Homo-oligomer: A and B are copies of this chain.
Amino acid sequence: MAGAGGSPDLAAASRISETRLWQRHMEMAAIGATAKGGVNRQALSEEDARARALLAGWATSRGFAVSTDAIGNLFVRREGSDKGARPILTGSHMDTQPTGGRFDGIYGVLAGFEVLEALEDAGQPTRRPIEVVAWTNEEGNRFTPGAMGSAVFAGYYPLETMLAAKDAAGVTVGQALAETLRIAPAPLRPGAPGAAIDGYVEAHIEQGPRLEDTGHTIGVVTMIQGQRRFLVDVHGEEAHSGTTPRAARKDALLAAVDMVAALSRATMDDEDTLRFTVGRFEVRPGSPSTVPSHVQFMIDLRHPDDKLLDATVMRIHEAVERHRGRCTAKVTKVSAVPATPFAPPVIDLVRESAAALGLSHMDMPSGAGHDAMHIARLCPTGMVFVPCLRGVSHNEAESATPADLAAGARVLAAALVRLADQERSK
């Protein structure tokens, strides 16, 4: 494939090394490797620090500049030929869920780094600098909220509040970050967080089954769908399961199952686009011989259309009221993340790159949230998806092929070079 195409973007893509990219993934996967073949590398843990140090070592050996900002986002910069030009960013995150996989997040960082190496191998300059970034704490598992680093970079969360956030052991982000930087030191990135950048493209595994199901290699991500979360509390009354007649009970579980069943039906759409999930559902006191007095469950709703999401809220209140029976029930809005449309020029660039490289591709929204949703506030932003086995992620069984990872990196290379070489007036 070397030398394919005459344009600089396809030239860069042709230098992407499938074997090197795969090897980098396996080296990273060794840090926090679990017995079941997954990765446990939580944000600002020792494993995270060691992964940062590994990346920084690779970077400095290639002559790239390494820096971090105040929330610990790690940057690897390959300079551009136009010294005054603002950079193009690419990247994702290196932290994982406690029983996470080898590709979620780290792929976007390593694919970006592979693009820098490919350009370096080719001796190919770009007008603008290209920076690979590993955003701090995307998973939101050890410290909440998730996507913390990108949100602070974009000015969406205040830095000081985030530095004070604590994990379950009482350790703050600030303390964990100081320890991380002791293991993986890096100079402070010049300029304020969020200092002007000219574009951002993030590569990621799809975390869903659509590419695999439809036989496509590249997902051209058009947007990140909106999300709403609601907590429903149903309060009844404890009673002895052997002695209390049904008519005398206030059974919080029976009310809650009717609510969930009704909501499941009410949120079905012909296109199978609205995502309704009750992932947390807790029953108290949880004794086999006691009628449950309290159920708390969380509703997670996602859809590309914010208006439709907001309209669905009414159905939640209706279903809860209709099925509470003799119990009381309360619906609390936990979070509302609006849908994030990506920039049409970047979407077009990703689609054109995939087409030029002869890769089968499809436009699709992202069902999951990503750091890109915050960076989209700052500059034209897009994403590239590659398939993952059966759509499984947040799971030690997460799997992707070397060929698909390399294909995504080629699309990323082509898109980044075109963004980096655009006229400054753009």
**Which A residues are within 8 Å of any B CB, using their own CB?**
206-210, 213, 225, 227, 229, 238-248, 251, 253-254, 256-258, 260-261, 264, 268, 272, 275-283, 285-292, 298, 300, 302, 366-369, 391-395
Contact = CB atoms under 8 A, between A and B. Distances in A.
22 contacts: A225-B242, A227-B242, A238-B392, A239-B391, A239-B392, A240-B367, A241-B277, A242-B275, A242-B369, A243-B275, A243-B393, A244-B275, A244-B367, A254-B264, A254-B278, A256-B257, A257-B260, A277-B290, A278-B292, A281-B286, A287-B394, A288-B300
Contact of A244 (B209, B242, B282, B288): B209
Contacts of A368: 240, 242-243
Given A253-B260, A279-B285, 9 more contacts: A209-B243, A210-B245, A241-B277, A242-B367, A246-B275, A253-B278, A254-B261, A257-B258, A280-B286
B241 A208 contact: no
A240 B391 contact: yes
A241 B283 contact: no
Contacts of A288: 229, 277, 279-280, 298, 300
Nearest to A251: B277
Give how many copies assemble into the complex: 2
Given A254-B264, A257-B260, A272-B246, A240 B394 contact: yes
A245 B272 contact: yes
Contacts of A238: 392, 394-395
A392 B276 CA distance: 37
Contacts of A206: 243
A273 to B, nearest CB: 8
Nearest to A364: B243
Nearest to A393: B240
Nearest to A272: B245
A213 B290 CA distance: 20
B290 A209 contact: no
A283 B281 contact: yes
Contacts of A225: 242
A268 B256 CA distance: 18
